[in-house]
Structure 1
Amino acid sequence: MRKDVKLALRRRVCTVNFLSGIRSRISTKTALIVGVLAGLVAALLVTPSVDGEAFAEAARQAADQPAGVIGALVAFGLAFVLRAIAWQRVLPDLPFSHALAGIHLALGANHVLPFRLGEPLRVLGVVRRRRVGIEAATVSTVTLRSADMVAVIALGAVVAPSAFFGLVGFAGWLLLALVAVAAVVGWKWLSNVAQRRPDVVMPGLVALSLSAVAWIAESILVRQVATWVGINLSWSEAILVTTVAVAAQIAAIAPGGFGTYEAAAVAAYAVLGYDPELALIAALGAHALKTAYSLVVGVIAAFLPAPALTGRFRLSKTSHTMVARPIAADAPVVLFMPAYNEEEAVEACIERVPDQVHGRRVELIVVDDGSRDSTAKRAEASGAEVIRLGDNQGLGAAVRVGLEIGVERAAAAVVFCDADGEYPPEELHNVVAPIFDGEADYVIGSRFLGRIDHMRPHRRFGNHVLTRVLQVVARQRITDGQSGYRALSFEAARSAEIIHDFNYAQVLTLDLLAKGFRYREVPISYHFRTTGESFIKLGRYLRNVVPAVYREINAA
């Protein structure tokens, strides 16, 4: 392996380890329990101290001033807009909407989870949505968050140095030292990355200044809420309360820093000479507005902008279509039959296969998927070529092997149907016709467009439900999503990917549609099997297929 590749892999592993180690010293379960308990304790301590009448009056004042509420929320939101702009200046290829969504996602999560466990979601959001490198996303986040904390301390020190450091005390100086170390480490790390990657830029004075302006914007909300309880803060006082409360939240235990925020804010109000009881109401009101904003935008950020953090649930709309290539005059039609314990049906099924269709010879292959009976021997005795997989690997694996063989033989079309007699090999001519007529690259023989001799009611219902779901997901009219009779052009067979071994039906269709191959259905006849047994069980089928469909959609 080349030295530069090794270095890149090492950096990626180190970055992943850094992210996973952020909270590795405590288990998630323990953190949640401690966080919830801390929140409950804070609530028990805060609630008795709240003046109910004064709180109700403040709420009435807010209700009578909707413009003030909206203005406070807009100012609070502006702070995160500024932080998104700063992030863009470090990662120029990161769209503003995705930068803002990543920040909002972490903000919302931090108001639900304890110990600021939501912070890694800022990185995760842009890495998953925009394929931003995990190292670039992580180092830029660490650096800018450190800059945020430096700005908090700097603002507090500028507007009221003695009050600020008097309030934070020894812990404040320790905090300053830790933040300074984090800032230096982040800056050095970012500098190293920026030297190697043209898509990463060192933050200039503008980007760093935006961090300070963002905190000033947040102080507007604090100042507005204070007026509703009868406290008229000056701008410098509002900034002091904001910086002290935020600095205390760095070590937040409860979700959203509840309790810590209120205690620090009230202390700041008290140093400024304001009534602690009114100060508590002002702190609770400001925190409530911030929490409401954070939860709403956090939920929105999980889904917008597209793709949602949860991933897609439908194929993307596509306008491209694959262009069919000329077919060699002597190219055969390869028909393969996946088979597992089909000794009672395979011989009769093979006898029904035509020697040629559309003037082309038919090469028949039975892919024996680890049968424990005499399926392979009977297939060979009937004149079919048999490919043995050894152990039972699953229908998806058998189909994958059959497609690979068809491609190796440069087939004009690769077709497969089950070896249990349910699908008619003699109708091969109709199934491949759209390919040879130049109308399709991928053809499904639809039982529901043709004649069904017999199908159990629960299977008919299940087929209709699953097909309807596939139709919605694929954005394509489909009448039989589970059919076991399908034909692919050479190009489609060569491009096809079946991402799991259990089954192929839905993932193959989604894969080929996502790649722009033309889809058609033709009517076929269907006769329910009279020998053997079906190995498809609904519970196991859904457990395997649903996750595979989700992966296929989000890989497209």
Structure 2
Amino acid sequence: MKKLSIIIPIYNEEATIHLILDKIKNVSLPNNIEKEIIIIDDCSTDNSKTKIEVYIESNTELDIKFYQHNKNKGKGAAIHTGISKATGDFTIIQDADLEYNPEEYSILLQPVLDGFADVVYGSRFMGGNAHRVLFFWHTIGNRFLTFLSNMFSNLNLTDMETCYKLFNTKILQSLNLNERRFGFEPEVTIKVSRIKKIRMYEVGISYYGRTYEEGKKINWKDGVHAIYCIIKYGLFRL
């Protein structure tokens, strides 16, 4: 039986963590693929830990693994912990903020199950699915970062910064990843692009973005660091 490892890095997501877990719980995957849920709490200061523990106790039928950092290390570091714990055939990253819809896991899995892909990115900028209309400059920034990343990786992605990245787990675990914060996205993209005969696909997904008032965390400083990471990993094999 094939298994999908779902890595959920969280930091102060007490308001939505149980909601995203409910969505994952109710998702049916193709080919009877099993779900392994890996939650990494990056030293939250709210009630996230208690919410997760109560949820696990109430849903013992789910395969949920819960890990905590003893200090705040960053989203990338939380993902690294999740990658090291993954035992599934495939791995996907899932934010806890409800911006991405777990019902679309099947869309990302299909190219892999059909034997065409090793890595599949879910693009917010292609396809006919729903997209919340939000920030103009965020969109420009995302497109610029994707363009810059494509220059160094020789890919033609439309959305390098997407959260929804699905990998063959063995390939993902073979990468030497260093970025502890939001630099994970360009680093993993550039490094996976260098693997010989790697088969990367992109599919359209929906996007239900949050405003800063609703809890969005990424800002312009993260964009500047992403540029640095693209140049750093694009020029040097670190």
TM-score range, shorter chain: 0.7 to 0.9
For 2:214 and 2:43, locate their aligned partners in 1 and report how far apart those are by CA, in whole Å: 16
User: What's the CA shift for 1:356?
Assistant: 4.4
Look up the match of 1:416: 93
Map 1:463-478 onto structure 2 (within 5 A).
463-478=142-157
Q: Look up the equivalent residue of 2:3 and give its one-letter code.
A: P
Map 1:187-226 onto structure 2 (within 5 A).
none
**Are 1:508 and 2:188 matched, yes or no?**
yes
Look up the match of 1:347: 18
Worse overlay, 475-484 or 462-471:
462-471
- State which of 354, 357, 370 in structure 1 corresponds to 2:43: 370
Look up the match of 1:489: 168
Look up the match of 1:58: none
Map 1:375-454 onto structure 2 (within 5 A).
375-383=48-56, 384-406=64-86, 409=87, 411-450=88-127, 451=129, 452-454=131-133
Structure 1 residues 540 and 430: alpha-carbon distance in aligned structure 2, compared to 1, 3 A threshold: closer
Cα deviation code 1:60-95 (max 9, x no counterpart): xxxxxxxxxxxxxxxxxxxxxxxxxxxxxxxxxxxx
User: What's the CA shift for 1:345?
Assistant: 1.4
Q: Percent identity?
A: 25
RMSD over aligned CA atoms reads: 1.8
**Are 1:336 and 2:7 matched, yes or no?**
yes
User: What's the CA shift for 1:483?
Assistant: 0.3
What are structure 2's unaligned runs of at least 5 residues?
Answer: 57-63
Q: Based on CA coordinates, which of the two structures has the bigger radius of gyration?
A: 1
For 1:433 and 1:497, locate their aligned partners in 2 and report how far apart those are by CA, in whole Å: 27
For 1:540 and 1:490, locate their aligned partners in 2 and report how far apart those are by CA, in whole Å: 27
User: What's the CA shift for 1:533?
Assistant: 2.0
| Matched position secondary structure for 1:525 | coil
Look up the match of 1:357: 29
Over 4 Å off, 4+ runs: none
For 1:497 and 1:356, locate their aligned partners in 2 and report how far apart those are by CA, in whole Å: 32
For 2:201 and 2:27, locate their aligned partners in 1 and report how far apart those are by CA, in whole Å: 24
For 1:382 and 1:448, locate their aligned partners in 2 and report how far apart those are by CA, in whole Å: 34
For 1:418 and 1:551, locate their aligned partners in 2 and report how far apart those are by CA, in whole Å: 26
Q: Is the 1:499–1:548 contact (alpha carbons within 8 Å) kept by the matching residues of 2?
A: no
User: What's the CA shift for 1:528?
Assistant: 1.3
For 2:104 and 2:53, locate their aligned partners in 1 and report how far apart those are by CA, in whole Å: 22
User: What's the CA shift for 1:540?
Assistant: 4.4
Higher strand share: 2
Q: Look up the equivalent residue of 2:229 and give its one-letter code.
A: A
Q: Is the 1:351–1:382 contact (alpha carbons within 8 Å) kept by the matching residues of 2?
A: no
Cα deviation code 1:93-122 (max 9, x no counterpart): xxxxxxxxxxxxxxxxxxxxxxxxxxxxxx
Q: Look up the equivalent residue of 2:48 and give its one-letter code.
A: T
For 1:356 and 1:495, locate their aligned partners in 2 and report how far apart those are by CA, in whole Å: 29
TM-score by length of 2: 0.86
Give the paired residue count: 223
Look up the match of 2:219: 537
| Matched position secondary structure for 1:364 | strand
Q: Is the 2:14–2:46 contact (alpha carbons within 8 Å) kept by the matching residues of 1?
A: yes
Cα deviation code 1:357-396 (max 9, x no counterpart): 1211111122111111112221232334321112111111
| Matched position secondary structure for 2:124 | strand
